[in-house]
Amino acid sequence: MDFLPFTRPDIDEATIAGVGDVLRSGWITTGPQAKAFEAALSKHCGGRPVRCFNSGTATMEIGLRLAGIGAGHEVITTPLSWVATANVVLEVGGKPVFVDVDPRTRNIDLSAAEAAVTSKTQGIIPVDLAGLPVDRDRLNDLAKRKKLRVVEDAAQSFGASWKGKQIGSFGDFVSFSFHANKNITSAEGGALVLPDESYAGRCEALRLQGVVRSGEDGMEVEEPGGKFNLTDVAARIGLGQLPRLADFTLRRRTLARRYFQLWDRGLGCELPVDDFENSNWHMFQVVLPDRMPRAKFIAGMRDHGIGVGVHYPAMHLFKLYRRLGWREGQFPHAERIGRQIATLPLFPRMADTDVDRVCEAAKKVLA
């Protein structure tokens, strides 16, 4: 039986042919395809300005810079995320301030976030874990009352919504990722949704070494930027993926429903929130019972030909953040979930019988 990975990108033949056309065109770095992708993403986000980058990490870093966050500023975030979420705060000279997660949603506890606000707090980075949106009403109310800038780490929630509005179509800064394991991909890449056009010029400069061009040969640099531009090759992949987003999301929701139908509740696992209105079902994650070491579960599932992912260990326990003063026991919910969470296979090309196979294998391994 073929090995079933926890995710696999779905690139159609038309997109592959389109990438070939880009390669033959001779224009393979940032150019017309990247511009077209930005325009299509802007339409998806309700007409808001969007700029593409070579990763979702770069988008968060530039979002923080555009929001005026730098040395001495505190930024509140969750420890239950890919480590880039906090690393970008360090990159701009700020201090990540972790708070615990809600044990049910696994997203940042906004009550804990409010309690963590100090005179040095300038921003908050919420994370939509597995594609389940953080409560945007409470988030934006908190930001308004405490005068905080928001850089949404929506890396996993492209195609998700909040009360009927697409994530990215409202709010402050919104950062998306199009990494190979995301719901749509450009192989590598990301996009930053801006509050308004006034940020666009500086955003573009920071994306490419801080360079501002004028006239036929004018060039100026006022501040250092990075090398964060998206290539036309990657953009063409994204352009082929975006029209398929609705179908991808529908299929993911169908597969997630099947997991809920077939999963044996007697195994002692904690299932995700069964949100089929807002979540894009980027991942289907279970929290294993304490009696089952995650490494043993992963090995057992691999023996059945099934791949399992880990998203994510609680990042405040990494050596980098321990050296900054964080320690075990501060965020018990994030630590427990981060120790036992397991990502099961979920991607559009999966068959219904693949879910059956995962559920049966998990039952055997957890028995």
- What is the set of active-site residues? 182
DSSP secondary structure code for residue 180 in this structure: T
Ranges of beta strands (E only) in 145-297 are 149-153, 161-162, 165-166, 173-177, 190-193, 211-214, 218-221, 284-287
Show Cβ contacts of residue 325 under 8 Å, excluding neighbours closer than 6 positions: none
Phi, psi of 222 (to 5 degrees): -105, -25
Residue pair 80/105 in contact (Cβ under 8 Å)? The answer is no
Name beta bridge partners: 149.
123
**Which SS3 state, helix, strand or coil, does residue 303 take?**
helix
3-state secondary structure (DSSP) of residue 76:
strand
Q: Which of 101, 62, 106, 69 is nearest to 84 (CA)?
A: 62
Farthest-apart Cα atoms in the chain, separation: 70
Q: From its phi and psi, is residue 76 left (phi > 0), alpha (psi between -120 and 50) or beta?
A: beta
What is residue 271's DSSP assignment?
P
Short-list 136, 140, 133, CA closest to 157: 133
